[in-house]
Structure 1
Amino acid sequence: MALSELRADIIAFRHYIQSERGLAENTVLAYGRDLERFARWVVLVQLPQYLKPTLKDLARYVAFLHEEELAPPSIARHLVALKMFYRFLRLEERADATAVDLLGSPKLWERVPEVLPPTAVEALILAPQPGDRFYLRDRAMLETLYATGCRASEVVNLKLNDVYLDSAFCRCVGKGSKQRVVPLNRHAVAALRSYLVGTPDEGARPAESATEVFVSKSGRTLTRIHLWALVKKYCKRAGLPKTVSPHTLRHSFATHLLSGGADLRTVQELLGHASITTTQIYTHVDRERLKAMHKQFHPKGGNASAPLPPPAPLAPENEKPPAA
C-alpha cells in the first residue's frame, strides 16, 4: 500500500466535508490532523491494506492513541473522524461498509492486552547485538521498558537525575506529572551502567547530551516514535509479531508480576494507574494462576479432572434419624 494513495484519499475527504457537507474550517482542520495521525500509524505498523481494516487492526489503533496519551474526548474525536472517512470511502466505492460497522462496534473497546511470554521478551531484549550502531543504548532501553513497566513517553523522558543505579531504582514522571518510584532489576542496572560508561562506538551515551538518559548519537532527546520504530526493528529481528509495541512490554511486565504472585495493588502502584479498575484488565490474561490459587486454597479445590467420590449411602426408610 502506497502512502501517497492514503494521503490522496484524505485530501479528497477534506474537500468533500468542506464543500459538500459544509463543515466549519476548524472542524475540517481537526479531522485532517486526526487522519494524518492515522496515516502515520499505518506506515509505522506497516498495515497491508487500509481499505479493509479488521477489528484487530482498529483495536491496535485505539491502543496507539492511548499510548500517545490523548485525552478520552480526543480519542473519541479521532474515531469519529475515521468513521466519517470510511463512510466517504464507501460512497466513493473504494471501501465497503465493514469498516464503518467495526468502528461502531462496542468490541473495539473491549481489548485484552497483548502479552509476550518471558522467553519472547528475552529474545527481544537480546536482539540488539554488539556491532549494531546503538547496541548499548537500545539494549538498555529495552531492559528499562520491561524492568519498570513504564510507558514509552516515561522512558524517553527519563532524566539522568532520576536514575539511582547504586540503589537500583528510578523515579518516573507519569500522566498528570505524577511521580512514582520503580525498582530496577540487576539486568537493567547492568545494561544502563554499560550504556552510561561505554564508548560511542558501541552506542553509548555521548558526553555532551541533553538531560535525558536516552539520546541520539548527536545527544538529542528521543521521541516516542523513535522508541516505537526501535521496538519494531528488533521485533522483526527476533521473529516476533508485528503487533508488538513498547506498550506490549508494559502489559507483559504487569502480567508476569501477577503470575509470579504480586498483588493487584502493588502492580497498580508500579504502573502508576490512578484507578485499580485499569489494572484489573491484567487479571483476564492470567486465568491459570487463578485456577491454581483456587485449587490450593479452596476446601474443595482438588483436581477438577479427578472423579468425584461416590455419594454417601442413604439411610433405610425404617431407620430413624439420630436425635438432635
Structure 2
Amino acid sequence: MNSAARIEAFLEMMSAERGAAENTLSSYRRDLEHASEAIKGGLAGAGSADIRAYLDEVAARGFAPTSQARKLSAIRQFFKFLYAEGLRGDDPTGTLDSPRKGRPLPKTMSEAETGRLLDRAAQEAGEAGPDGDRMAALRLHALVEVLYATGLRVSELVGLPVTVALRDDRFFMVRGKGDKERMVPLSTKARAAMRAWLAARAERPAFAESPFLFPASSDSGHLSRQVFARDLKGLAARSGIAVAKISPHVLRHAFASHLLQNGADLRAVQQLLGHADISTTQIYTHVLEERLVRLVNDHHPLAD
C-alpha cells in the first residue's frame, strides 16, 4: 500500500473539504510522514501493534504529552479517512489510548487589571500631543478595546480589512480559521475608540489608501503581531501590570473568562471565539465550575 500517495490524498481532502489552513496541513504532513518513515512498511498498512510501538518510541524519545497526543490525533484522522474511502477495512487506532496530559489553564487577567489597562490606553489616546505619538496612541487604544470586546485572535485583529469597520460599527464580520466568517459585536467603548482611530487614519494619505484597518510599512501591509505585542507590554508596564503576564492571547482569554464569570453560555463563547469544536472552548470549564460553586454558596438555603 503506497503510504505517500494515501497521505497526499488525505491532505487534499483536509484542504478541499474541511478548509484546513496551511499551518494545519503542514503539521499533519510532518506527523504522518514521520510515523510512516518510522513504521516498517509505511503508515497506511500499519496495524494497532505497529502504531502503539511507534507511539511508545516517541514517548521514550522525550516528546511532550501534548506532542504525542497531536501525533496520535493526526494518525487517527488519517485512518478515519482511509476507512471512509474504502481504502482500509478497519481502523487500527480504535483501541489506542491517548497519552495522559495535564490541562494547563490559560493565563488570564482579572477584570480590575483589564480595566486599568483599558483606562490607561484611553488616557494616553486623549492626552497624546505630537502627530506620531497621537496616531500610535489612538491605534493602540482601538486595538486593545476591540481585542477585549471581541476576543479575536491576534492574527485576525491585525489583519482586519478596513471594510469591516465601514459597514456597521455595532459589529465586525470576521473571516477566521478555515475561511469561516463569524460576527462579533463591539462594545460602546470599542466603537468610540474605533471611530477616533478611523478619523485619524483618514488624515494620513498613505494610511487612507490602505486596504487594512491597521496599516503599516511591513511586508504584509498591516501591523505585525510582534509590534502589537510589544506595544501591549509597554502599555501594561505603564499601567502597573506585570509585563510577563500579558500578551494579545492573554487578552483573548480574559474576554472569554470574564464573559463566563458573568453568566455567558459556553456555546455562545465558542461562537464568539471562532472555535470549530466545543472541546476547544472547554479549557474554560474551570471558570464555569467556580461560578456554579459561587451560585450554590450564595443561594442555597443550607450553605454556610
The alignment's TM-score, normalised by the length of structure 1, stands at 0.57
1:104 and 2:64 matched: yes
CA distance in 2, matches of 1:280, 1:108: 15
Match of 1:114 in 2: 107
1:120–1:240 Cα contact (<8 Å) kept: yes
Mind listing any 5+ residue stretches in structure 1 that lack a counterpart? 1-67, 79-99, 306-324
Give the counterpart letter for 1:235 in structure 2: A
1:236 and 2:237 matched: yes
- Cα gap change, 1:256/1:238 in structure 2, threshold over 3 Å: closer, same or farther? same
- Cα gap change, 1:142/1:69 in structure 2, threshold over 3 Å: closer, same or farther? farther
CA apart distance, 1:105: 5.6
CA apart distance, 1:294: 3.6
Give the counterpart letter for 1:250 in structure 2: R
Match of 2:255 in 1: 253
CA distance in 2, matches of 1:170, 1:295: 38
CA distance in 1, matches of 2:266, 2:254: 14
CA distance in 2, matches of 1:140, 1:108: 38
Mind listing any 5+ residue stretches in structure 2 that lack a counterpart? 1-20, 32-59, 67-99
Rg larger in 1 or in 2?
1
- Cα gap change, 1:253/1:165 in structure 2, threshold over 3 Å: closer, same or farther? farther
CA distance in 1, matches of 2:106, 2:186: 23
CA distance in 1, matches of 2:190, 2:167: 9
CA distance in 2, matches of 1:111, 1:69: 26
CA apart distance, 1:145: 0.4
Number of residue pairs matched? 212
Give the counterpart letter for 2:114 in structure 1: V
The alignment's TM-score, normalised by the length of structure 2, stands at 0.60
Match of 1:214 in 2: 214
CA apart distance, 1:221: 1.1
CA apart distance, 1:157: 1.1
Give the counterpart letter for 1:169 in structure 2: F
CA apart distance, 1:167: 4.8
Which is richer in helix?
Answer: 2
Give the counterpart letter for 2:303 in structure 1: A
- 1:124 paired residue among 117, 130, 138: 117
Q: 1:198-220, CA deviations, whole angstroms, 9 ceiling, x for partnerless residues?
A: 3789xx89543421111237994
Match of 1:268 in 2: 270
CA apart distance, 1:122: 1.8
Match of 1:138 in 2: 140
- Cα gap change, 1:159/1:264 in structure 2, threshold over 3 Å: closer, same or farther? same
CA distance in 2, matches of 1:209, 1:220: 11
Identity of aligned residues (%): 37
Q: 1:88-144, CA deviations, whole angstroms, 9 ceiling, x for partnerless residues?
A: xxxxxxxxxxxx999636687621011111121122223331323511111001101
CA distance in 1, matches of 2:178, 2:116: 34
Give the counterpart letter for 1:225 in structure 2: Q
CA distance in 2, matches of 1:257, 1:111: 20
Give the counterpart letter for 2:274 in structure 1: G
2:261–2:287 Cα contact (<8 Å) kept: no
CA apart distance, 1:162: 1.4
CA distance in 2, matches of 1:116, 1:226: 21
- Cα gap change, 1:155/1:103 in structure 2, threshold over 3 Å: closer, same or farther? same
CA RMSD across the alignment:
3.4
Superposition map of 1:263-302 within 5 A = 263-295=265-297, 301-302=300-301
Q: Which 4+ runs in 1 deviate beyond 6 A? A: 75-78, 100-103
1:170–1:183 Cα contact (<8 Å) kept: yes
SS of alignment partner, residue 115 of structure 1? coil
CA distance in 2, matches of 1:303, 1:236: 45
